[in-house]
Amino acid sequence: MQLVLPAFFIHWYVSLFSQTFFLHRYSAHKMFLMNKFWEKFFYFLTYLSQGSSFLSPRAYAILHRMHHAFSDTAKDPHSPMFSSNVFTMMWKTKDIYNAVLNRRTNVEDRFEHNYPVSKTIESIGDSWISRIFWGVAYSSFYIFAFVKFDMHWAFFFLLPVHFLMGPVHGAIVNWSGHKYGYQNYDNHDHSRNSLIFDFLMMGELFQNNHHKLPNRENFATKWFEFDPTFPLIKILIWLRIIKMNVKPADAKF
């Protein structure tokens, strides 16, 4: 337990940081700017942290931009309003994601632009060899902990979360963020803020705030709300790793 739980939470939060910072705020919205070295660094960190569930920055950005444009309508790639449960919602998302990733569908020009590209990392991350490698690595770690440190067998039930970490994060955000919580703004959709201190999803559960101000780097807008990713962004700005991209907070993409 002393080994497995810290490893699980490290994987959870590093993967979540990669998703909210790099895939969401950078790839989809370009809230800030970074040079090519740091772009490749965070691209690779996203691959390392998501492992078997690696999500393409291009496909993620396109689906997320579609989500804003068609929020809670039939064209929304992941709205709980058009799915009976979280599993059917994510299966629909998977189908659209794969069609976009493999260029089997026409993507509107307004969605298909200005995202980071690394053909090498993406081809590796999206390969079954890589996904199986990471699955074996996670499983081997748990078997090692079970044999060497007498880990309780129930911890093996955490393995599916490791295997599907990226989609698990997306499922929580898109289901809860459009079903449960309060609304600060009337966005003409069902977006909600599920927590006032989003310790669980590092700010991603401020969906109502984010849909109102999609390019605001701080997803918290009220004095009592806290977005844990925002202080990390401020540190990266202070370190001159990134700089803010000056554009209106309510601008489209």
- For 53, residues 6+ apart whose C-beta sits below 8 A from its C-beta are 15, 131, 163, 164, 165, 166, 167, 168
Question: For residues 217 and 190, is the Cβ–Cβ distance under 8 A?
Answer: no
60-84 pLDDT, tens per residue? 999 999 999 999 999 999 999 999 9
- For 10, residues 6+ apart whose C-beta sits below 8 A from its C-beta are none
Phi then psi dihedrals of residue 33, to 5 deg? -120, 150
2-41 pLDDT, tens per residue? 789 999 999 999 999 999 999 999 999 999 999 999 999 9
Confidence (pTM)? 0.95
Q: Report the pLDDT value the prediction gives residue 10, as an integer from 0 to 100.
A: 97
**What CA–CA distance (Å, rounded) separates 225 from 220?**
5
Q: What is the mean pLDDT of the chain?
A: 95
Q: Report the pLDDT value the prediction gives residue 1, as an integer from 0 to 100.
A: 60
199-236 pLDDT, tens per residue? 999 999 999 999 999 999 999 999 999 999 999 999 99
Phi then psi dihedrals of residue 221, to 5 deg? -125, -20
Q: Once rounded to an integer, what is the mean pLDDT over residues 132-145?
A: 97
Q: Once rounded to an integer, what is the mean pLDDT over residues 91-111?
A: 95
**What CA–CA distance (Å, rounded) separates 47 from 126?**
9
Q: Report the pLDDT value the prediction gives residue 252, as an integer from 0 to 100.
A: 72
Domain ranges of the chain: 4-104+119-244
Q: Which of 195, 215, 211 minimizes the C-alpha distance to 203? A: 195
CB atoms near residue 62 (< 10 Å) = 25
Question: For residues 218 and 227, is the Cβ–Cβ distance under 8 A?
Answer: yes
Tell me: pLDDT of 165 over 80: yes
% the chain with pLDDT above 90: 93
Q: Report the pLDDT value the prediction gives residue 148, as an integer from 0 to 100.
A: 87
